């Protein structure tokens, strides 16, 4: 378990908060399909990474703070950068793997939101 009082703990908590915001925005969006279903899947995968982070912090299902804004791709990119900022010597969980998962989700969100934009223009 990682103490939330350490720099690593604070960075993990920040990433968990960002992912929580992604989950809420992805699951409550009202865009047309098929982008809607892509965002729902992205939200589900973001939830799983958030849960892994909270487990590492020993905080289980403790609620995370919902951050303002609903730019899903930007929040995912920020979460990936936050995970990448964890000092290597403190990296006793697979933060690189989590960072890669979150980066991949950010790419998928960009594509889904681009499809949404194309639908609105079309």
CATH number at residue 15: 1.20.1260
Q: Is residue 1 a part of any domain in this protein?
A: no
Q: In the chain, pLDDT over 70 holds for what percent of residues?
A: 80
Predicted TM-score of the model (pTM): 0.81
- The whole-chain average pLDDT of the chain stands at 81
Q: Is residue 2 a part of any domain in this protein?
A: no
DSSP summary character for residue 67 = P
DSSP summary character for residue 49 = H
By residue range, what is the domain housing residue 18? 7-121
> Residue 122 above 70 pLDDT?
no
Q: Is residue 49 a part of any domain in this protein?
A: yes
For the segment 42-73, what is each residue's pLDDT rounded down to a tens digit?
Answer: 999 999 999 999 988 887 655 666 655 558 88
> Residue 120 above 60 pLDDT?
no
- Tally the domains of the chain: 1
Q: Is residue 53 a part of any domain in this protein?
A: yes
What does the pLDDT average to over 107-118? 77
Contacts 24+ apart (CB under 8 A), 77-81: 77/103, 77/106, 78/18, 79/14, 79/15, 79/18, 79/19, 79/22, 80/106
Give first-to-last CA distance, the chain, whole Å.
50
For the segment 74-95, what is each residue's pLDDT rounded down to a tens digit?
Answer: 899 999 999 999 887 655 557 8
């Amino acid at each position: 378990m990682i103490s939330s009082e350490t720099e690593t703990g604070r960075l993990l908590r920040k990433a968990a908060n960002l992912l929580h915001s992604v989950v809420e925005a992805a699951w409550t969006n009202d865009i047309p399909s098929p982008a809607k279903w892509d965002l729902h899947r992205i939200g589900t995968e973001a939830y799983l990474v958030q849960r892994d982070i909270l487990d590492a912090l020993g905080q289980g299902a403790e609620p995370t703070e919902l951050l303002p804004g609903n730019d899903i791709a930007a929040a995912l990119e920020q979460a990936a950068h936050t995970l990448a900022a964890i000092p290597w010597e403190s990296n006793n969980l697979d933060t690189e793997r989590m960072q890669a998962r979150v980066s991949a989700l950010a790419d998928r969100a960009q594509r889904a939101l681009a499809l949404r934009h194309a639908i609105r223009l079309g």
